A and B are shown apart, each in its own frame.
Chain A
Amino acid sequence: MSASAQQIKNRISQEYKQGFVTELEANTFPPGLDEAVIHKLSTIKNEPEFMLEYRLKAFRHWQTMKSPEWAFVKFDPIDYQAISYYSAPKRKEDGPKSLDEIDPQVLDAYKKLGIPLDEQERLAGVAVDAVFDSVSVATTFKGKLKEAGVIFCPISEALRDHPELVKQYLGSVVPPADNYFAALNSAVFTDGSFVYIPKGVRCPMELSTYFRINAAKTGQFERTLIIADEGSHVSYLEGCTAPMRDENQLHAAVVELIALKDATIKYSTVQNWYPGDKEGKGGIYNFVTKRADCRGENSKVSWTQVETGSAITWKYPSCILTGDNSTGEFYSVALTNNYQQADTGTKMIHIGKNTRSTIISKGISAGRAQNTYRGLVKVLKSAAYARNYTQCDSLLIGDRCGAHTFPYVEVKQPSAQVEHEATTSKISEDQLFFCRQRGLSAEDAVSMIVNGFCKAVFKELPMEFAVEAQALLGLSLEGSVG
């Protein structure tokens, strides 16, 4: 292996910096899952009756389902009875009334992650909902959002304060029986964020949820529900980290987005769950169902994701383009290294007329990792003049990794125009040599090339996240991302 190739390897095998554990007292259910656990969960959260029924129905359905087997993702069977389904830092009372009541250890943990929750240091222009294991511990800027009529709160709170909204929309995009992990989530989800943007409101700031798994032997099952009413606009960011542990932990989230007429939702994720060590031990199983319904005319949903963490990532943020002239977008960077596996992509279901979708996927595979793009573009007969453009590029670093591209294209409408392109290549010695001949170090050259490769996606990220995403790729990127 040439010197430059070795440097590439060094560059990409950075340490996981968010792998610390916060020591604190927690309320944790003993491991195990049955109807009693669900009753207990619902009771502890003080949920309305319909929610308990919803959970039990999902649970009963889940019991009839089989864990999926995927051709390109390998993992040992999960023992669902060995997982604890609820873990929350101990609180003085029901919920923290102010930041003073939050365990300083938790605040400190978020601070270490670069997400300060206290009033003085909070991120300017970004409202944060911090979810620690099974519960939301703090939501910032609540007052300012309330002025605009925006509801941004933990979903457990929304269930108490806005049960009618939750009831109307929950499960309307991802039904409980949708798939194995969605069913499990519907039965046992603990917390997550709820967003409602009223008619005609442009959300005054970025909304953000920061998910942190801390406790051992727990699973995180968060649920996010975002509703953008007619003519509204919202940008939502999501970040995730977890400590380094030898065992695999399950994260099975469900995210539902609903965009009504003329509404726009932009959903960005920087996923950096613990990926496991260099030998492939430990790490998070990230089995997530994310789906948006562009229900109204001219609505638009844009998914942007940077996936660098998790031992296994299985997620397909999708758009159901129901409304005429609605638009779905998916921008993705997935980096896998060592023994990580990622099987990610999107589904664009064109139902309405003149619906448009764009898919840009960039996969980077290094070490012994396997990186798969799997996408479906489906144009139904009703979707006259639908358009899709898909571009999937894979970059291979090292000779023991894999990159796979599995697009499915199904078209039942003659006026539709669907275009898919894919390429797979490695960083060429010529490119590297060229950069070095112009005075760049091999490391900087790789940084530049990898970032150039991902640029089309990074430019879709909000500024705060773009910076984090670049840092996550372990590359110094001054000025090359716009």
Chain B
Amino acid sequence: MLSIKNLHVSIADKPILKGINLQINAGEIHAIMGPNGSGKSTLAHVLSGKSGYTVTEGSVTYNTKNLLAMEAEIRAREGVFLAFQYPVEIPGVSNIYLLKAALNSIRKYQGQPEVDAMDFLTLVKEKVRLLDMDEKFLYRAVNEGFSGGEKKRNEILQMAILEPKLCIMDETDSGLDIDALKVVAQGVNSLRSPERSFIMVTHYQRLLDYIKPDFVHVLANGQIVKSGGADLALELEEKGYGWLEEQAAA
């Protein structure tokens, strides 16, 4: 589904990613772990098309297409979904408006007619229940005045409704208490399917207690320094990142 080859990325001439190679097949969950400043969030942003990053080398192929050549919204319509570490507040735009605008953009892109208003509402309400959210959320402005947990849940709600193929979750666990973490994890698990892949960017292992990854990669100093199975995350939890960084530097 996604093939990252020798990806080099700079911000304002400063190299951040220095040759990332990663192969993600449909249905897989990959966790990207690493210390602060290792380039985890940069990877998430570059894949979703945020401006301000320069790809100096390498390629990213997504379902046979050149992902890097697409505008951010085209990537999104193609099924790449970024769950933000810090979801943006947009006063004046209601959640329901955003969801409708987003869903219809995808349908239009796929050559389908706009969603029927009643069907849409039924769909949304079902997902809202699933994520244990209050329906009133739908009519409030996007993320405005939401708590950290509410914002993250709102991201998962959008994910559930837009049904992406590749979900990139940027530090989804940050700022969540244990109950909110469980709800979010439950939401993600309910979205798991053989057609859908996940990239979970995280500093800590605790999210992986609830969403079990197939692969764990450790990013340090802009490179993947170690890859392994779910057990690697536990090892990192115990030993920290220091030994890997030293290994990489040596």
Q: Determine direct contact between A and B, CB below 8 Å.
A: no
Q: A residues near B, CB below 8 A?
A: none
